[in-house]
Amino acid sequence: MFVTIINDCKDANTFGRQETRASILFGTHISSVGVDFGNTLQAAGNLIDVLDASDGQEGVVLVNVAPRHGDGKRWPNGTPFGYFHYKKTLVVASISGYTLSLVKKLGLVNEIHVMDIPTVIKSVVQKEIISQATGEHIIHTQFRSYDFVPRVAKWLLDGVEIPSEVMPLSEVDDVPQALWWIDNFGNCKTTLFADEIDHQEGKVIKTKFGDFACYNRLKDVPNDHAGFIVGSSGIEEKRFMELVIQGKSAAAKYQIKPGETLFD
């Protein structure tokens, strides 16, 4: 059993509180992945990597990365949450932006069960799982990653019937051809798979950052040269392409930031 939190509330205080609550509820070690504020593309890539790392075994992934302003204002108290199962793993995630776009692209599931927090809370209060006072607090909380998400995941694991509406993944935004993560070496993970660019050793890919040859592995890239390689991120046989420089930071060299598109 594992629990992983993917969240843009990532300072020591907020992660510490989330991890403590989750560890009490689930009785297991908690792993956390922090992403940039509101960066749902980073959330999407990290969700795929966590599902890959867990190999579909029994566990829970809790994802809350969504805009709090702009589009996020169209709901009474933030972006709704939904849940789905990937093999034996339960995922509870915010549904706005690109968070589920790579799940859609990879075809891991076809639908997600979307929850309305007040409706869920009314249901569990009626079942006497929580008190009316606790329910009112959860409905109005500003920290849903702490007060609602881990609790509803535990209820789902315990077999509690949670009211929801089915939303097909076809309604989720398509993921752009972009860079979703920059690692500590400055390697840039993209949303592209090898077959999308007809990856072959030596083929040159034209991007808005320049023209880059394809290589199979990082070790095949000549010193100080840039290129596209098949990276380690992804799931099963589908691995994301990465833009790298052998021995240097591609992100620094080309001034790349997460979320930037690859092509004009």
pLDDT, tens digit (0-9, with 9 covering 90-100), for 243-257: 999 999 999 999 999
**2-171 and 179-254 in the same fold:** no
Residue spans of alpha helices (H) in the chain = 12-26, 40-54, 101-106, 117-126, 132-140, 144-147, 149-157, 250-254
Per CATH, domain 179-254 is 2.40.30.90: yes
State pLDDT tens for residues 74-85. Answer: 545 578 999 999
DSSP, collapsed to helix, strand or coil, labels residue 70 as: helix
Structure-token match 């099963």, residue found: 236
pLDDT at 152: 98
What mean pLDDT comes out for the span 172-187? 97
Q: What is the pLDDT of residue 72?
A: 47
Domain at 2-171: CATH code = 3.40.50.10790
**pLDDT tens digits along 182-222:** 999 999 999 999 999 999 999 999 999 999 999 999 999 99
- Residue found under tokens 């932006």: 97
Task: Identify the pLDDT of residue 61.
Answer: 98
Q: What is the mean pLDDT of the chain?
A: 94
Domain borders along the chain are 2-171, 179-254
pLDDT digits (tens, 9 = 90+) for 23-80: 999 999 999 999 999 999 999 999 999 999 999 999 999 999 986 545 544 545 578 9
